[in-house]
Chain A
């Protein structure tokens, strides 16, 4: 672990000192905002993996679906570009809640159709259906809006606050980071305090024992999929509002990065996923900024492999017994 940190420092420090601190701050802000979005997606991966040990490849596409579903909703609520004010923010909150409900229900449907019948099948079978569902979702979005980049309305207020010496933080960055942090905190409280959260943790630990204690396994797993997808749907809207462009196959790359984030933090671990998301966002920002963006994938996956080699269960790894 230390080796990775030292390597990263050795690569970054000369760049930072030669190109000035303001650029570093700028990349840091960008990385945090980007990482917050990855964190939101990573949470869904990590929750689903924690509870049924499935890499839900369709999750990244649920995230894209969130952005796609919100587009017509935004126009229904009259939220078009150029409008500002409290009404817009209120409308956005309303749309976000609606989209979270829709993606949550869709993901529950996916679980019902593609994963539940295979719960006692060989472990690779649900993995294949997950990839299949990912293709189905991408196919639907492709049929719906085509292969072009879609413009997403720029609705967030874009006030720039100077951080001195040329760097600045936008109100957009702040909103994205704050929303993500709030959602993660709410989720953590929910998982640790609520009855359903307790049921989820019990099911993740030992499904049969949980069942014997009177927990409705199917309902608990469906709820996990609902919450994961709701967060991903919110992530989709935030992504659209932040980057102002979406595409049907966006979920593939983002999903891969988010999953990497989940593994990075220790899969099955909520705080690990959030931390991993931020780390991936930062790595991406610094790699894009200081080096060539075509090498970003290589950096991210190489760091992932190195982290796993030295810490086989991720940064905040969950101790999962060998079953």
Chain B
């Protein structure tokens, strides 16, 4: 192959050509640029509203964390977990219980207010413990039975949190149906925001927290996690996971301790979820069992599968895509539809009572939300079963798998 010589003066092109040939690296660079540009661009585009957008982006980061964690379980080790939200709930409730006034109503009669920085690790640890507790007896189950056990666990955990509220036989530990509110906000160092300090002005002594703080913190956490998980992926452990995923019997025959390996994947996945849960509880300052239903588990699984199982940049892109569809596009769709109708002179559609039980375009579109989400799932999966950005290895395997497998190809001789 002859080397292409770029025209003189195009050093940047040549650098990019050299370093960005790898698709994954290109995505990482694009994501980083996007992350840095997002707050100022939103600031310019939407003005005062930009704080809301930045906060939404920080929430999206929670789901990115969840997806990265589930990717370890599903994508790397090939274990189907349908109750991932349970660990999310455990992290969030751990934070909520230990950083609010809730426990004063419990049999302890004493409020506990531990600091954020300690509690996110406690939440992580608790989730990992429950992951091991659930995984140890059940991980020897065949694929789909494991999925059912995790599904069951995912139903049990929120129910237990909902039921251990006021009036439960052992006292009020979780706030019951109302969940835990008024959770302590984290104390973040003012310097955290760095160059984005403009949101606070230049007053670094301001103790209050802005969405930009969460945003920056989230970005730092996600970057750390990506580095961690990428290293895990290419480590001995990562190769063991993939061996177990592809053929458990062969892996065991080659000396991989399959049970320990699977348990480790389960615990690491759970700890990501717990970590994300604690962050989520702290940011929202409200934890309720409603927020950890089966739909959340499925959504995170979808983020992993849609993005491209096993491929970290793919999973990040997948989770950002799904998050924006679910939490930005779909909720705003009624508004979009109304303004679109007004713009093209069909404003009368926005009024209720047009015919029969027509309740106005906005309401009608809102009622479509669930249906649309389902349709998106089906259409996207049918069109791209391998995910948006599958890992290179997987892609090759799938492409090969569909062709006729001949012992040797006559055309090449």
Contacts and interface: CB of A to CB of B under 8 A. Distances in A.
Q: Which of A117, A256, A305 has the most CB of B within 10 A?
A: A305
B301 A128 contact: yes
Nearest to A300: B152
B148 interface: yes
Nearest to B145: A308
Interface string A120-149: 111011111101111111111011000000
Contacts of A128: 298, 301-302, 305-306, 377, 381
Interface string B345-383: 000000000000000000000011111111111100110
B147 interface: yes
B371 A294 contact: no
A213 interface: no
Given A131-B377, A304-B149, A322-B249, A256 B155 contact: yes
Interface residues of B, number: 50
B309 A140 contact: no
Contact of B385 (A125, A292, A320): A125
Contact of A132 (B248, B378, B402): B378
B374 A136 contact: yes
Contacts of B160: 298
A120 B386 contact: no
A207 B372 CA distance: 34
A56 to B, nearest CB: 12
A305 B148 CA distance: 8
Contact of A118 (B138, B249, B385): B385
Contacts of B149: 304-305, 308
A309 interface: yes
Contacts of B298: 128, 131
Interface in B259-315: 294, 298, 301-302, 305-306, 309
Nearest to A302: B156
B36 interface: no
Nearest to A49: B144
B141 interface: yes
A21 to B, nearest CB: 27
B148 A259 contact: yes
Interface in A279-310: 292, 294-295, 297-298, 301-302, 304-305, 308-309
A267 interface: yes
Chain A interface main SS type: helix
A312 B145 contact: yes
B153 interface: yes
A28 interface: no
B309 A136 contact: no
A113 interface: yes
B385 A121 contact: yes
Interface residues of A, number: 49
A322 B309 CA distance: 22
B398 interface: yes
A308 B138 contact: yes
A202 interface: no
A27 B152 CA distance: 24
Contacts of B368: 139, 143
A284 to B, nearest CB: 14
Contacts of B398: 122
B137 A309 contact: yes
B156 A301 contact: yes
Contacts of B394: 122
A298 B142 contact: no
B140 interface: yes
A322 B141 CA distance: 11
A177 interface: no
A120 B401 contact: yes
A121 B144 contact: no
Nearest to B397: A122
A312 B382 CA distance: 32
Given A118-B382, A294-B159, A136 B141 contact: no
A301 B152 contact: yes
Contacts of B377: 128-129, 131-132, 135
B301 A124 contact: yes
Nearest to A317: B145
Contacts of A154: none
Nearest to A312: B141
A313 interface: yes
A309 B139 CA distance: 9
Contact of A124 (B153, B162, B305): B305
Interface in A243-257: 252, 256
A311 to B, nearest CB: 10
B376 A122 contact: no
Contacts of A322: 142, 248-249
A135 B301 contact: no
B144 A301 contact: no
A266 to B, nearest CB: 10
A55 interface: yes
Contact of A294 (B74, B138, B163): B163
Interface in A46-80: 49, 53, 55
B89 interface: no
B113 to A, nearest CB: 30
A53 B373 contact: no
A158 B373 CA distance: 42
Contacts of B145: 263, 267, 308, 312-313
Contacts of B369: 139
B80 interface: yes
A320 B374 contact: no
A117 B162 CA distance: 40
Given A143-B367, A260-B148, A260-B152, A122 B374 contact: no
10 contacts: A122-B385, A122-B398, A125-B381, A128-B305, A129-B377, A131-B374, A132-B375, A135-B373, A139-B370, A260-B152
Closest 7 CB pairs of A and B: A139-B371, A132-B377, A135-B374, A121-B385, A301-B152, A136-B374, A125-B385
Interface of A: 49, 53, 55, 113-114, 117-118, 120-122, 124-129, 131-140, 142-143, 252, 256, 259-260, 263, 267, 292, 294-295, 297-298, 301-302, 304-305, 308-309, 312-313, 320, 322
Interface of B: 74, 80, 137-138, 140-142, 144-145, 147-149, 151-153, 155-156, 159-160, 162-163, 248-249, 294, 298, 301-302, 305-306, 309, 367-378, 381-382, 385-386, 394, 398, 401-402
